[in-house]
Each structure stands twice: as structure tokens, then as C-alpha cells.
């Protein structure tokens, strides 16, 4: 008889005291197009800390108590009746972001369409660090910004989880990269390929950088508004942190009220970008096994390398999230099962 429960990092409610902790939850059941994966490692992302606060409650749907975490690497233990690409024993990695379930658990359910073979040259911890930052960078730089050889892209906070991956992908796409870091991280981002590095403790990036074709919005506050001045006309801003816009609300099929609210939230940035002939859009990464497979090939070819700051054991998953929330990690924070 299989154990009917498993351990998972859950939150009980939204708001100031979400009660995050390891609890026993029912073992997941499989649909016909899903894989059951024994999680070996789970990569953490800033959004994992934002979800319990309720920030994304209108657009992300969880049944409470809910398991936290979006990224994982592990071994397939069971497959649904319609699964054709994977079998038990296969090593996979995936993001299950926005699918209503979490990855910081002993077992996770992964739709076949979201899974990709784990790159053979990476261990589970390295592989688990990739999915969300990899897919976000791919969808923002390759699809949304359509970054071309010789163009210039500004990727602020280059030493963070998203920055360390996005810089490498932009270089792979043939672009020149500008970034901001503190003094201690200049060498790191240069080693990843950054061309123009601004030490934000000494200079304001908008006084230094000029003639850029794209901006990846990764920093809260007024950084996105300031970045408009470094762009050429016809350029693009792709923001990962908001403000959310009406186009996003339409794509998510949200109701009229939310479309209106998001339209109001993005009104100022829309006005400022229009003045400079720049387009603004908000991006919510979507899981995609085919794209992740392509990213896996770049990792296997050593075109891109994982950058990991710290690994925590499963028992300290909550502390791992608290550490990530401090915003000082160089690269990714990963929980190892």
C-alpha cells in the first residue's frame, strides 16, 4: 500500500501571516497527460515569496492550503495513460508555475507539455535552478523583445537569479548587454558576458547608458520609468514585475473589472513610453517543455551555465525562502530533497 501522504512546504492563508511550513499533504493523483515526479531539488524564485502575500491572488489560483514552489528537477515515478515522451525512471526538469500546484514537496505532478529531459551534464540541483529564469528570459528576450544580433539590451540586477541567466542568453542571441550591480558583483557579471556594467552604488544607470533596443524590467521602484531615457525610438520594455497591463488581463481572460484595474495601473508607464515611441508589456512566464528542451541543449553545449548562490536542505525550505527574500543572492537559491 502506497503512503497516502507526503511532506510539502505549504502556506495556509494569504496575507501578513500565511503560516508557511512543512506539512503532511495528500499524495497527488495523476491525470492522463501528467507525470508524477519524485522531486530531487526545487529552485526558488522571488514570486514564491510574493504568492502568499496575496499580491497575485486575482490571477493565480490555488486551493488553500497550497504547496509553494514552481521549479523542480527529479525522476519520473509514474506516467498518465496518454503520456508518450517520458517513462518511469527518466530524469526531468520543469516549471509548474501557474498550474495550481507546487514543487517544494516530495512528489509533484507535472503536465507532459511542461516537462523536459534533464540536461545530462547538470546535477539535479543545477537543473532545478533553471526552469523559471530560463523560460522567462527566453520568452522575454527571444519572443517578446525579438532580440537580434548586434542590438543592445539592458538587464538590471545582473547578479540575481534572472539576471545571471538572461545575460548569458542575450549574449548567445548575439546582443550587447548592459547591467547594474554593486561593486562586489562586477567580476561575476563580466564573466557571464556583460558589456557595460554600471555600479549602482556609484552611478545612476540612466546617466551612463544610451541607445538601447530593449529593457528587461526586473527591479521594483522607478527603474522602469528611468530606463525609458536609455532607449532608442521603436524599442521595447518587457517587465517581469509590473505594472500589469490590460493586454495581460485579456490574455489571461480576466474579467472587465480587472482589465480596467490593470489598465489604470499601467496608465502612467503607457503614457511615458508612448511619448518616446517605446512599447511596454508585462510578461508572466508560462511553462513550456519544448522551450525548456531547447534551453537544455544550450546548457549541455556549455553555452549557458547555471549560477547557484546557496543550497538548503528540504527541512530548511522556509529559511531558504527567507534568505531569498533578502535580495542579496548571487544567482539561484535551491532546496535539495
Look at residue 222 in the predicted model and tell me its pLDDT.
85
Assess whether pLDDT exceeds 70 at residue 2: no
Alpha helices in 149-198 (DSSP H): 161-172, 186-192
Average of pLDDT values for 107-128?
98
Q: What is the pLDDT of residue 220?
A: 82
How far is CA 105 from each of CA 31, 66, 102, 224, rounded to the nearest angstrom? 18, 11, 7, 35
Would the pLDDT of 163 be above 90?
Answer: yes
Q: What is the pTM of this model?
A: 0.96
Q: What is the pLDDT of residue 3?
A: 78
For residues 57-82, give the mean pLDDT: 95
Q: Which of 20-29, 32-41, 50-59, 197-206 shows the lowest per-residue confidence on average (mean pLDDT)? A: 50-59
**Residue 58 in this model has a pLDDT that exceeds 90:** no
Residues 6+ apart with CB under 8 A from 169: 134, 137, 138, 141, 142, 298, 304
Going from N- to C-terminal start, the domains of the chain cover: 5-130+306-336, 133-282
5-130+306-336 and 133-282 in the same fold: no
pLDDT of residue 154: 98
Whole-number pLDDT of residue 308? 97
Three-class DSSP category at 238: strand
What value does the mean pLDDT take over residues 294-323? 98
Q: Is the pLDDT of residue 1 over 70?
A: no
Is 218 strand, coil or helix? coil
Mean pLDDT of 194-199: 98
Q: Would you say domain 133-282 falls under CATH 3.20.10.10? A: no
CATH code: domain 5-130+306-336 is 3.90.180.10
Amino acid at each position: 500500500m502506497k503512503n497516502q501522504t507526503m511532506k510539502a512546504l505549504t502556506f495556509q492563508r494569504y496575507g501578513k501571516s500565511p503560516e508557511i511550513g512543512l506539512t503532511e499533504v495528500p499524495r497527488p493523483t495523476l491525470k492522463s497527460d501528467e507525470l508524477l515526479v519524485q522531486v530531487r531539488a526545487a529552485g526558488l524564485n522571488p514570486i514564491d515569496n510574493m504568492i502568499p502575500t496575496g499580491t497575485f491572488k486575482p490571477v493565480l489560483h490555488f486551493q488553500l492550503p497550497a504547496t509553494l514552489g514552481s521549479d523542480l528537477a527529479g525522476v519520473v515515478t509514474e506516467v498518465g495513460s496518454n503520456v508518450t515522451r517520458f517513462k518511469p525512471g527518466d530524469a526531468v526538469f520543469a516549471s509548474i508555475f501557474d498550474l495550481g500546484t507546487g514543487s517544494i514537496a516530495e512528489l509533484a505532478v507535472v503536465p507532459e507539455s511542461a516537462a523536459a529531459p534533464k540536461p545530462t551534464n547538470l546535477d539535479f540541483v543545477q537543473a532545478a535552478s533553471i526552469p523559471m529564469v530560463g523560460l522567462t528570459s527566453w520568452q522575454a528576450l527571444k519572443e517578446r523583445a525579438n532580440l537580434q544580433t548586434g542590438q543592445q539590451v539592458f538587464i538590471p540586477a545582473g547578479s540575481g537569479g534572472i539576471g545571471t541567466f538572461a545575460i548569458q542568453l542575450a549574449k548567445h542571441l548575439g546582443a550587447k548587454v548592459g547591467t547594474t550591480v554593486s561593486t562586489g558583483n562586477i567580476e561575476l557579471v563580466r564573466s557571464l558576458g556583460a558589456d557595460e556594467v554600471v555600479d549602482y552604488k556609484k552611478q545612476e544607470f540612466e546617466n551612463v547608458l544610451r541607445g538601447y533596443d530593449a529593457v528587461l524590467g526586473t527591479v521594483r521602484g522607478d527603474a522602469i520609468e528611468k530606463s525609458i531615457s536609455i532607449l532608442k525610438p521603436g524599442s521595447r520594455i518587457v517587465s517581469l514585475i509590473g505594472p500589469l497591463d490590460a493586454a495581460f488581463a485579456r490574455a489571461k481572460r480576466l474579467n472587465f473589472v480587472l482589465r480596467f484595474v490593470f489598465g489604470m495601473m499601467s496608465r502612467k508607464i503607457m503614457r511615458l513610453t508612448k511619448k518616446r515611441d517605446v512599447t511596454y508589456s508585462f510578461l508572466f512566464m508560462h511553462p513550456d517543455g519544448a522551450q525548456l528542451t531547447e534551453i537544455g541543449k544550450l546548457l549541455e553545449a556549455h553555452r549557458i551555465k547555471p549560477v547557484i548562490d546557496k543550497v538548503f536542505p528540504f527541512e530548511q525550505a522556509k529559511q531558504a525562502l527567507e534568505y531569498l527574500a533578502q535580495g542579496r543572492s548571487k544567482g539561484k537559491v535551491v532546496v535539495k530533497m
